[in-house]
Structure 1
Amino acid sequence: MKKILLSMALSLTVLSANPVMAAAPAFSASQMAQVKIKELSFKEVMRQFYSGEMVSFFIDDETIEAVPHVGLGQANSDDERTVALMNPIIDYTNNAGESRYLVIIEKVQVDSNTGSLVSCHVCKATADIYSFKKLNNGQFQLVSRTPKNVEPSGINGRVMLDEKDIKNTMQPLGKEITGSVLKNGSFYHGIFVQWWDVLHLPENDFINLYGLGDAGMENGVHDEDSPLYYGYEGTLKVLSDNTTYYPIMLSYKGEKPTEDYEHIEHVNYSKIMKFNSTKKAYE
């Protein structure tokens, strides 16, 4: 059991959201506001942000062909090419009660020879996320965006950014920050692992995704009456306290392996996660 859980823990680290920590230009609200497009169509968004990168090449994948898409750049050393996909636009309201529109451009890899999605359990994609507001003249003005090539949680070559989950969990996450807390999960050798990712949508900083923590686990390899079976559930509560970043309380209940993976214990406890603005991480 120890070997399986250690492997699973390492896989979870790979799959969960990775915020961009490399040096990036300072955020400028005035520079963002200079970007205006007439409509939030795939055509206009791609021309605004990816001009000079778009190319046409062979694609033979139903999941890609079912949504607006276009190729980007040249093939890499593995003979894989990047395809940009536009997910459905998400409308939401910020903390001030103003309407905003979230555009997600997912960038996946396809095999140059077969035109199919490069898909494996640990294969991931990247995403560029943009928030807009609508002006009185009908145009859409950029409010914020992610740094380049943010890596959300992902599996089988796709990102875990379901528009319904984002919209349904949209809420205040700080004094001036709206966002979503997403519960993602995947199977590892019969063990179902879940984790929380947090999407921050600030208007005075870059948009980004952050790992929050464990959201539950169930060992489906064994029957429930087996001494090797375990399962526990994670729940959360955002603690609105008028601070820049609201703390989030995580609670766990059920049967959970110990940190050394040697024992299974009954648990019923909570812990509070706070966002460290210097490290850009919940801890």
Structure 2
Amino acid sequence: MSSAAGRAPSPDQTPAGWSDHAEPYDEWLAPLTRRFAADVVDALAVGPGTRLLDVAAGTGALALAAAASGAEVLATDFAPGMVGLLERRADALGLAVTTAVMDGQALDVPDGAFDAAASLFGLIFFPDTAAGARELHRVLRPGGHAAVVARADGGLTFHPLVLEALAQAGVREPGRAAAPAAFRLSAPAALGALLTEAGFADVAVRLLEHAWPVPAPEALFRSAPSWSAPLRPVFDDLRPEQVSAGAAAFRDVVVKRFGGALPARALLATGTR
């Protein structure tokens, strides 16, 4: 489950890879992740008095949804920029969310301190996903519940569609995009095994599906290097005219093939301590 020993982390596995791009991430991707956050709140039966730990919380899609339901939330992330933006969003909404900069593979919280623990599209990026799952297990009280949301195979179409659009625009071998580390857990068996091997009981994995409305496809395409670490090297190699041609091709794909809303599929794995 963990990355190969000694392998250098990819940009999407480093704090800088997220901190420096928190605001565009919140603008472009958080509207989608908030839809999946509601699924996690329901799956964990989060409500008034629930002590919830949100690991790799990003800009707070899950933490804010849980706080709005009445939960006592600690939201952690290794990227200070993400944590800072989460704090500002919570303040603006009048929600009480405690935040901390922490490595989800080695959390600085006591054993058994939470009723529920979850990671929404976060733990899946960890260099050592098994350590992250064990930490979720450790911090739960006996009988507590955990949830991990991962991208499903073919479930988040943006990354491959950007490359497809560039190819349609005549960009040869649109290049150096590394497959996101998160794709390691895009199969139900792999995600379920992660929780089982961490000690969870009653592990279940189910598919979630939401639409991602894209009212401005060309703007979304151009925004990619500002919030998608795996795509930044691709855009670094492009000339302005290639970006424009790719944006137009992406618009056509979004509108003509998908009717203006990209399909988004994810896996929700749950387990009991």
TM-score category of the 2 structures, normalised to the smaller one:
under 0.3
Q: Compute the TM-score of the two structures, normalised by the length of structure 2.
A: 0.23
Greater strand proportion? 1
Q: Compute the TM-score of the two structures, normalised by the length of structure 1.
A: 0.22
Q: Identify the structure with bigger relative contact order (alpha carbons < 8 Å, sequence gap 6+).
A: 2
Greater helix proportion? 2
Larger Rg: 1
